[in-house]
Each structure stands twice: as structure tokens, then as C-alpha cells.
Structure 1
Amino acid sequence: MNTTHPRHRATTAVLAGALVLLAAATGCSAKADGEGGGDSADGVRTGPGVSATTIRLGALTDLTGPYATLGKSVVQAQQMWADEINAHGGICGRKVEITVKDHGYDVQKAVTAYADISPDVVALPQVIGSPVVSALLDDVQRDHVLTFPQAWAASLLGKDAVQVLGTTYDLDMIAAVDFLTRTQGLKKGDTIGHVYFEGDYGSNALEGSTWAARKAGLKVAGQKIKATDTDLSAQVSSLRKQGVKAVLVSAGPAQTASLVGVAASRGLRVPVVSSAPGFAPQLMKTAAAPALTAMLHVVGAAPAVSSELPGVREMVTAYQKKYPGSPVDSGVLSGYNAAKLLGDDLKKACAAGSLARADVVEAHRSQTNVDTGLGTPQDFSDVNRPASLATYVLKPDAKAVGALVGVEDAHRAPGVEEYLG
């Protein structure tokens, strides 16, 4: 029985059609819009994306695909951060600009968008989608463009320029199994279902649940689905026949709603725990809301936006004022946190005398205990390990901001260190 963690395996992204050839745009040599590397008038070394007056950042997001709601929240939160920073003089005496490109969760469109945007930015505080980030890994690493994915697959670890923020999907599922055994009465010999998307997201989550279940003496009944599968009646029927005592889901909000709603209607009223991307506050306005309230918990690296953490409360107040009518969901917190972290990196790089890309990456990787006040402290020094090992447990509450409330504060599930090896 091999328990070696799979994050050390090479990840290959295969793209249909011709490969897009990108010109290398490293921190000190390439020119972008007339901006070459060198020293500016203030003595700070610059490179692509940085002029004497401006720091340009990029976002490769989903505004028209399956994660459009998330994309909008992240974009708006990061623009709010930029506006706040600029109102106080910017960073390193420069105004921050964010150029947004919508890829609609299409990998080939994302590759083309990266080719278009990469010569003109110093970093990417947002790239949505594990498949998208996987396709761009080598280009981002070659170009030294510090990149924060809105994706948490362990396969994205191992690159200096790519930083998965918080935990990874597998660690969250280990925490989910631990939560079920501690609080929901699961015991040795029981079977738990795991419904998961094909691809890096779902497979990484399944790795975690399988490992944790084996340690706890449980069995896992896996059900792999596609992002286009929105009626999970067949999966629920199969899990019911297998006598599952709980279900894990690592998919999108539509799949979570279908799974829980169908399970409740067919008498499979068992605990369900979702990976963070599987929940959105809009679900609490659907017919599945009562079942979600009764059966669902959510695990992830971030607290609920209804949290009493002062930093979260300040962010929520500012966001509601700036974007009245827009839902305050996990994307707001995730996007704002990523932007704040990148801002800290840029300030640290400036203090060291260089805003060249490679030096921004170095400034980021030099930090071992970073706390934005929006969750748990993070360690960015080891490219092969998640920045945090602590997972929150949340549950739906239609009356709460973001429709989630905290159940358990961030904690490291038993066995995580053993799992990481």
C-alpha cells in the first residue's frame, strides 16, 4: 500500500490545437509597452509591468463560464483593494492598475489571454481554474510572473512563481473525514461516498478522502462526474444502494445543490461535506435550501465572510458600500486576501530595491508567517508544501452574510503531517 503523497509527480497539461509560443518576458530584460528593465529615477529596479508611475497587474478570470459569479466577486474585491491602495499613494510611489481578461473557463482562451497580457504585467493576483493554471505553469515559471491561482489542487505546487494560497483540496478532505468521524457518528467499516469532478480538482480531493478514510477504517465509494453534469440522480441512487453513511462532494455549486436536494427527497438523509468551491450563497435561494441547511457542511482554508474577525468585518463593510447589491461570497474574501498578500510582496520587493519580476517572486518566497487578518497565517517558503495546513468547517445559514457561518475554527486535522510526508 503506497502512501507517498502524489504532489511530487509531474503534471502535464495537454492542449488541443497548436501551442501558443510565448516570448520570454523575464523581470529585467524584456520590454513591455516601452518599459524595459533598469533603474528608475527613484533608484528602484524595474521590469515588465512597472514604470516610474505605474505597477500593472493581471487577472485571468471567468466572467462568462461556470464560475462567473466567483470571477465577478474576485475581480471586484481586487479592484477595491487597488482603489484603496491608490487612495493612500499606491505602492513604491506608483499607482496600481489591474488588467482583467475573461477566459470563460476555456483553457485555450486562457493561454491566448496570457500571451496577450503577460508582456505588460509584473504579477497575476488572480487566475481562476486548476486546468487553466496547469496549462500555464511552465510559461508562468519561465517568465517569473508571480501568480496566485483561484484554485487549490496540490498539482499546482512546486513552482517558485505559482503560489497556492491556504490549503489544498486533499488536506480539506482529510479534515472533512476527521469532522465526520468526530461529530457525525461514523465508525470503522462504514462507507462514505465522494462525488467529484474529473480533473485536478476532483482527483486531488479524492486522494485526500481516500487516504483519510483508510486511516479511519472507512470505505470510499467514488462517483466521478463532469462539470456539465447537473442532475445527480443516478449518483445518489448508486450511493444509496451502497449504503453510504455520509457523502463528500468536490464539484461546483450546481452539483452540490442537486446532490443534496435529490438525496433528501429520496430518503438519503446523511451528512454531506463539500469542498469550498462547491458552495455559493445563491444556493440558499433555491428549492434545495432546506436540505442544504439540514445536511451540508463546507470545508476550506478561509473563514466565513460572516466571521467576526476584524479584518473580515472591515472588508465586508467596505465591499457592501462600494458594490451595493453584489453578494458578499467566498470569492470576495479570497480575492481581497490574494490582493493584500501581493501588495505585501510588492512593498517588500520595493524596500529591497527592485520591482523586477524575479525579485518580486523572491520577496514572496522569503516570507514565513504572513497574516492579512483574513484567516490563518501562511508560510510561503517551501514551494512543495501548502501555505497553510489548517481547515475551517462552515455550514449554510441563509440569514448570514455570504450564507455561511463558522462551525469549527481553522485547525490542522490529525494525520496531515504524516500525509505530506
Structure 2
Amino acid sequence: MNVTPHRYRTHRYRTTRIVAATAVALLIAGCSSKAGGESTADSADGLKAGPGVSDRTVRLGALTDLTGPYATLGKSIVQAQKMWADETNAKGGICDRKIEIVVKDHGYDVQKAVTAYADIAPDVVALPQVIGSPVVAALLDDIERDGMLTFPQAWAASLLGKDAVQVIGTTYDLDMIAAVDFLTRTKGLAKGDTIGHVYFEGDYGANALEGSQWAAKRAGLKVAGQKIKATDTDLSAQVSALRKAGVKAILISAGPAQTASLTGVAASRGLRVPVVSSAPGYAPQLMKTPAAAALEGMLHVVSAAPAVSSDLPGVRRMVAAYQKKYPGSQVDSGVLSGYNAAQLLGADLKKACEAGSLAREDVVKAHRAQRDADTGLGSPQDFSDVSRPASLSTYVLRPDRKAVGGVVGVEEAHVAPGVEEYLSSRG
């Protein structure tokens, strides 16, 4: 085609405009649409939105265990967080939007959890619940890529250092440092004694063992370790090995079924030594098992959260509300940890809303600005340093079948000696 220089310039200009306009249109379409059909552009009220946020709703996700080894815990956490959502919605929601929680059960199966995450990730702004250290570990890259604020119901130190991932409270290693301190202060352990440590394979057990070994070395104790799998529910062999090792106390970093087996078998074989578990290793349902008497006589629990039988006003209000909403349901540590996590996330969403954006990155930014987050359900949390646990304080609890939640407080929240020294040594 013969075109004069002038006409060529005009034709080229018009073509450029068409191409540019098409590119802009495609860019806008790409930025304003996603799975779920929500806009990442400003909402009608001027709020900057993003995945999981529409003009009417804010959707959150829960990757939980309702059919696996932590099914009891998962049910409690889900119900507690739904209760929080209902309470929040009754007060007008957040940013004039109703809260919805999308729940997916992974049954403590990592592959199922990966599939479930891929299914809900495009349609939620944050995850106030992900159960299981192995599950969270498998999802870390995706969570970081998506910049989605996530509260694991897992407390491995390997989850620290991630801007979008928040371990609430202490980590497993700090719990075991507190456990060793409790044993040496109150149970007469002395230099040269041996303590057993039964622990799950994976991040949970490995991190707990780091803490127990460090604390034992500091106290002049020896550690006899016994690694187990989540499928191991008869710990007779482990008890025999620990008895042969002459242990004066036992730490356990596993699930409730393993804690019950360990304590019950140890008692029946005459190994009546103190046993200390971290919070995931105990559930009040154990008080209805044949191991109940042994648990009441031998077990203590180190926890970042107080007992649900605590007199803290916030805890008492939560327990009363939960019992009213879910009559007949057991009130356990999952209720408290789940409700606490939901309240903390709610505070983050409100702070982000006040700043004009519920986009994921701004929710994370609002969260990391919280230096003294206090829901009235335990120790205040500092979320500003991604490399440190949000709290260093632990409570000591003990089983009591007559108490709400099957546990009562023995020692109030405190930082165990050596914790800061340990954290400094870890860099």
C-alpha cells in the first residue's frame, strides 16, 4: 500500500493508539478480575479491595483438621472462629462488610491441604486458621507468594521470619525450655539426671527437641529422645526404653492420644514420674479415658494461653458465650486459641480498613504494626519482629476432670529463665 509520509505517520499514530488502548483494557481487565469475580480496584465506598473482599463481604479461610488426629481441636477452633464472625457481623461487620469463613478439612493430610489451599486461596483475604506444622511447611511458599496473612495453629520456630505468617504466642522450643525449668524448680531434678523426650517426627517434634536439649544442657541434665509418628498410639515400647534409661521425668511433644498412652502405660508399669506436654498434646476428652487418673496425677501442660477455667474476664466471657452458642460442646484450648486468633485478625482488618485498604499486603502491614496486641485472653503479643515469637511467656496448667476445659492453672504467665539467652544463641 502506497502511503504518503504524512498519511503514514497518521496511520502509525492511530495504530499505536489502538494497540495502547487494547493493552490498557487488557491490563484493567487483568487487574480487576480474579477467581470469585471480585475487584482489586477500589470498591464503591472507595476502599482498596482485593481477593476475598467485595462490597458486601470479607471472606477468610480455614484449613483445618476435622477428621484426623486433631479433629477435636479443629472442631473447637472452627466453632470458636465462627462464633467470633457471628458476633462481629451482629455489630455491623468490619468496614461495613459481613465476615464469612470458608472451611476446608484436610484431615492432617498434607496433599489434601495443598489442594484445599489452591481451591480457596483466590477467594479469601487471610487465613485465621491452618492446623499442623507439616501442612503449614508445605504451604509456606504459596502463602508468601500470595502475601496472605496466615495464623497457623502450629508453633514451630521454622515458621518465624515470614512476613505473612504469624505464630501466635510461644514456639515449641520455648515451651520445652519452660517445661525443663518447671521440672528443675518443682520436681527435684538435679544435675546428672536424665529426662525423656517423646516427640513427633517433623517440625513440631524437632523444634521441641531443640528446646529441651538446650535447656537440659544448661541445667546439667541428659535427654533420652524417642521419635514417634503421628500414627503411633501405643507407646509401650517407648515407655520401656525410657524406664531402662532411668528417666526422672518425661517431656512429650505429640498429640493427645500419645500423651494418654505414654502417661497411662508409664503409670501401669510403675514409672510414675512427672510428665510435661505442650498444649497440642492435651485435650479435656482425655479425662474420660482410662488414663484420666494417671494424667491428673502425673501430667502438667506448658501453654502460651491460660486455662479456659481461668478467672480472666475475657476468658470467662468467651466461655459463657461459647457454651450458650454450642451447648454440649467441650470447651478446650482450641476454643481459646481459635477465638483469640480470630480477634487478633479482626483487629488487623479494622486497622487496615481505617487506612483505606483491605488488600492483602495492607492487611499484613497493619498486622506487623501491632506491638502490644491484647485481646484479654492471655499475654499481649508483639507482631513487629518477624524473627521472634510474638510472646515469650508461658503458663503451667494441670489436668482436672472437674474444671471447665479439663484443666486448671498452676503458674501464671512468666518468661522462663534462659529464654532470651536461647533466642540470642539462635541468632
TM category, shorter: over 0.9
Contact 1:32/1:49 (CA < 8 Å) preserved in 2? no
Q: Distance in 1 between matches of 2:244 and 2:107?
A: 37
Corresponding position of 1:282:
285
The answer on 1:387 being equivalent to 2:396 is no
Counterpart residue number, 1:51: 54
Partner of 2:26: none
How much does 1:29 deviate?
6.4
1:271 equivalenced with 2:274 (yes/no): yes
Give distance in 1, aligned partners of 2:32 and 2:71: 36
Answering whether residue 68 of structure 2 is matched by residue 65 of structure 1, we say yes
CA distance 1:301–1:30, shift in 2 (3 Å): farther
After TM superposition, the score normalised by the length of structure 2 is 0.91
CA contact (8 A) 1:31 1:47 kept: no
Letter of the 1:65 partner, please give it. Answer: G
Aligned residue pairs total 395
Equivalences for 1:117-128 in 2 at 5 Å?
A: 117-128=120-131
Q: Match of 1:65, SS?
A: coil
1:368 to 366, 371, 380: 371
SS in 2 for 1:39: coil
Indicate the residue corresponding to 1:181 in structure 2.
184
- Assess if the C-alpha contact under 8 Å between 1:85 and 1:91 holds in 2: yes
- What is the identity, as a one-letter code, of the residue corresponding to 2:358? L
- Give the drift of 1:31: 2.0
CA 1:29 to 1:192, structure 2 compared with 1: closer, same or farther past 3 Å? farther
Q: Is the 8 A contact 2:32 2:38 kept in 1?
A: no
Matched, 1:103 2:103: no
> What is the CA-CA distance between 1:30 and the residue it aligns to?
5.9
Q: Distance in 1 between matches of 2:376 and 2:34?
A: 37
Structure 1 residue runs without a partner (length 5+):
1-24
Q: 2:356 aligns with which of 342, 346, 353?
A: 353
Specify which of 292, 302, 307 is matched with residue 310 of structure 2. 307
CA shift digits 1:37-83 (9 cap, x unpaired): 11112221000100111000000001111111111000000000000
CA distance in 1: counterparts of 2:134 and 2:101, whole angstroms? 23
- Letter of the structure 2 residue corresponding to residue 96 of structure 1: I
Per the alignment, residue 246 of structure 2 pairs with 243
Q: Residue in 1 aligned with 2:226?
A: 223
Please identify the structure whose Cα radius of gyration is greater: 2
* Number of the residue aligned with 1:262: 265
More helix per residue: 1 or 2?
A: 2
Could you list the runs of 4 or more consecutive aligned residues of structure 1 that deviate by over 6 angstroms after TM superposition?
A: none
In structure 1, give the amino acid aligned to 2:111. Q
Aligned Cα RMSD in Å?
1.0
Instruction: Tell me whether 1:161 sits opposite 2:173 in the alignment.
Output: no
After TM superposition, the structure 1 = structure 2 runs for residues 71-220 of structure 1, keeping only pairs within 5 Å, are: 71-220=74-223
Which 5+ residue runs of structure 2 have no aligned equivalent? 1-29
Query: 1:30 touches 1:47 (CA, 8 Å); kept in 2?
Result: no
User: Conserved in 1, the CA contact under 8 Å of 2:368 and 2:384?
Assistant: yes
Write the letter of the residue equivalent to 2:160. L
* 8 Å Cα contact 2:260-2:295 kept in structure 1: yes
> Secondary structure at the residue paired with 2:342?
helix
Of 320, 325, 332, 1:317 maps to 320
CA drift of 1:312 comes to 0.4
Q: Name the stretch that deviates more: 36-45 or 286-295.
A: 36-45
